[in-house]
Amino acid sequence: MTRIARALQKAASAESGPGQEGESPERPSSDPTPPEAPAPWEFHDVRPGRDQGRAVHQRSLTMPPRREMSRAGGGGGGMDVWPPRIAGLPPEPSPLVRYWEIVRRRWLAGLLLLSVVVGGIAVGAFLEEPVYRASGLLEIRRESATAVPVDSLFTSEKVTSDDLETQYGILKSQALAQRVLASVAAYRRSLRASGASSGNTPEPTNGPPQATTGTTGASAAAPDDVPSQGALDRFRQTLIVNPHKGSRLVEVGFAAADPQLAAFTVNSVLDNYLQLRMDEATRSAKWLEEQLQAAQHRLEESERQLQAYVGRYGLQVIETGKGETAQLANDRLQALHAALADAQADRMGKQSSTAESSPAVAREFDSPVVQNLSVRLADLRREHAKLSSTFKEDYPAVKTLNDQIAELERALAEESQFVVTRGQREYRAALMKEALLRKALDEQNALVQALGAGGAGGAGYQALKRELVTNQEQFSSLSQKLKEVSISAALKAANVGIVDRARPPLSPDGTPLPVTIGLATLVGLMIAVGGMLLLDHLDTSVRTVADVQTYLGVLPLGAIPAVGDAGTGRPPGGALVRGRHWRPRIDDRGERQSPLGEAFATLRNAMLLQDGAANSRVLLVTSAQSEEGKTTISINLALSLARLKYRVLLVDGNMRYPCVQRALGLPDRPGLVEYLSTGSDWRASLHRDVQPNLDVLGGDEPQASPADLLSLPWMGQLFDAAAREYDFVIVDSPAILTHPADVHSLAAVVDNVLFTIRQGFTPRAAVALALSQLDRVSGVVLNRSTSPDLAFRPASFSQGPPPDTA
């Protein structure tokens, strides 16, 4: 009979009933043929989204050689323990399935977000005071500064965007807001005076109240009606100016708690806007009239002064065809100024030419003869230099060149002297011309100054003439502007028209409450889904069995469900924490086929069906960090093995937080601590027959360092002796990342390590770090699993190294 058949037969006989409990179980025999060569444990670090057929990234953790085991009756030989590996990962689930799993895991957070959003919006909408919105329609036409025919007032003319934006700005201006608020204050006073509180609310007026008419816009308002800057800003923010696209229509709206007040405010804005435009045109026309009268007075005074000046001095003036006055003395003075400037420029040019009277300077003058002689002389000198390099000075050709050079130098000197003499004569002539022109200019200037000064210090003719011309231009400009403003003021009423006046609204403005709640629900659903996806993205813990397969590349030996006792109201089981928490046990329930019992039966059978399970008698249960369920797994795994008539010893090796005795309801005994501290017989500290076939060696918090005690050689001797007397020894231990020294000391003297992962709690990085520090890991168990499908079936297990996946 093979080992697997014997294990299955023993499991069937244990579940068949109490009649067969007395039979002695057959001890599993060890596999006589160990693996040929150990191989490293490789777990696949597969990232989500990769295809199954592609090569997977691998991290190799090379294990040191397993310590040799010499167990009495245990087969006697050394063996290598391999964790289960899978030939191929399962296919990647569809995106819809993944999203459904996220919703199933995070539904509580999503429900909370949805409740907050919908509840907040619903409460806000219910408590919000109803607001009534009234609106009126205004038409803005193109402005014209000139008089136009009556028919053109009813024709469509395009209004530029700049003009429209200007009018929109006026509607939102602070000046108009001040007028409207003064009107509203007067309206409220009229309500109080007419007994509006008793129900006699007057209808909104169709025109601006008297408080806003006039040039100031609020001249008749009471002193307490002057609005503050904050009130003006709030009103301007509340006022709605909505232009109709592609038209000259503008909708003006206002919202208030009182429908009558909302309609009155809109009508007041329209009326005060028209009145503001008319007041502005009237003020401009009045100011221009005052300026025009002053300009006319100045013009008459300047004409009178000019006529008196001309008659007093008997000036002879000529009126040109352009209406300008020209005086002969002034014209002659200007001509002499121009001639003197030309003479000075000519004299300066000749003076610079004759500054140096030497012939050498004359060569630089603009004389063609001098330039020609200089060029010929330079050529002869170059030719002489060329011959001198070959022949002596008495050579005929050289002598001829010397004679020619001397002749040219003499001619050049004579011509240069002639040029210098001619320049000096021209300079003296220019100097004399300048002196004559200056004398004539001085005489004419004295005459003009005598005329301009009036002989008695009066104003000059030109000054009076300029003043007259300036006054004439000012008068003409102001007269034209006054005509334009007068026409514009007359056309103000025609350029802007009220199409529809505001009426009190009959129903509140805004979205109905059912629609608001519906929209809030839609928004809340989107926020809830986004929040769930974000939380799931930020969660780096091991959440499902698929995560163990994906990130570790192995299938877990079992998945322990999260259960609770509905009868007592205790918290859900599977929480692997300290003694103050409840730890479920498979013997707490009357039914053998409970989910918790089935899960541990699956874990137990997976361990028994592993290769080399017969020689793996001492099993250490640990995890990456605390509160992951090591104690719960240890107790229930021991109970499950004891059901199969295996003799099991449960050892509490967690000296930091010993809680096995409290979890089983046993009295406290020193147990393991006393054995390691004093060397006493550990069998005397056992709790025997806690359950059929189950003994417990409790623990306590020692006075010395737990790491030092666990490192003593007595620990290995204890496990060797226990392995000879028991079929299985289950050792509970602390977390490896929290107390690594304790776990390393225990892992060095056990056969295998069972690694516990708490679903939704243990980070994947912590799992990878913890597994990298352990050598003999027989498998992984996923604790407190909430997956609806816990029908976990172990993958095909094999002994030896995994196949090459590269």
Position 39 scores a pLDDT of: 34
Task: Note the helical H segments in 354-367.
Answer: 359-362
Q: What is the pLDDT of residue 423?
A: 74
Q: Exposure string (b/e) for 6-24, b if CB count within 10 Å is 16 or more? A: bbeebbebbeeeeeeeeee
Token pair 């608020």: residue = 181
In this prediction, residue 360 carries a pLDDT of: 52
How many angstroms separate the CA atoms of 424 and 418, rounded?
10
Q: Which residue in the block uniquely carries the two structure tokens 């623990």?
A: 699
Quote the tokens at residue 307: 């006529």
Domain range summary for the chain, segments of one domain joined by +: 3-46+72-89+553-785, 95-129+511-536, 132-281+494-500, 339-453
How far apart are alpha carbons 436 and 342 in whole angstroms? Answer: 13
Cα distance between residue 66 and residue 749, in whole Å: 10
DSSP codes of every residue in 438-460: HHHHHHHHHHHHHHHHTTTT---
Which sign does the torsion angle of CA 471, 473, 479, 484 carry? negative
Taken in order 202, 204, 207, 210, the sign of the CA dihedral is positive
Could you state, in chain order, the average pLDDT of each consecutive group of 10 residues for the chain (806 residues)?
A: 44 44 36 37 36 34 36 36 46 76 84 90 82 86 57 57 82 86 87 61 45 41 66 86 85 87 89 82 79 86 81 58 52 81 80 60 62 80 80 78 80 76 79 84 70 50 80 86 74 74 84 85 91 84 78 76 54 41 64 73 86 79 90 92 92 89 85 84 87 89 82 89 92 91 90 89 86 85 73 38 36
SS3 of residue 797 by DSSP: coil
- In angstroms, the CA 624 to CA 626 distance is 7
DSSP reduced 3-state for 697:
strand
* pLDDT at residue 733 in the model: 92
Q: How far apart are CA 596 and CA 794, in angstroms?
A: 17
Q: What is the pLDDT of residue 354?
A: 66
Q: 3-46+72-89+553-785, superfamily in CATH?
A: P-loop containing nucleotide triphosphate hydrolases (3.40.50.300)
Q: CA dist 614 to 10, 15, 75, 558, 798, Å? A: 14, 21, 8, 19, 15
- C-alpha 221/C-alpha 225 separation (Å) is 6
E-assigned strand segments in 328-470 = none
Give the pLDDT of residue 491.
Answer: 65
Question: Taking the mean position of all CA atoms in its chain, how far away is CA 297?
Answer: 69
> What phi and psi values does residue 504 have, to the nearest 5 degrees?
-60, 125
Euclidean distance between CA atoms 521 and 797, whole angstroms? 50
Does this model's pTM top 0.75? My answer is: no
d(CA 377, CA 410): 11
Dist. CA 293–CA 525, nearest whole Å:
76
Q: Which residues of 290-306 are buried (b: 16+ CB within 10 A; e: fewer)?
A: ebbeebeebbeebeebb
Strand 132-140 to strand 496-500: parallel, antiparallel, or no bridges (unpaired)? antiparallel
Q: What are phi and psi of 74, to 5 degrees?
A: -105, 15
Q: Is 365 helix (H, G, I), strand (E, B) or coil?
A: coil
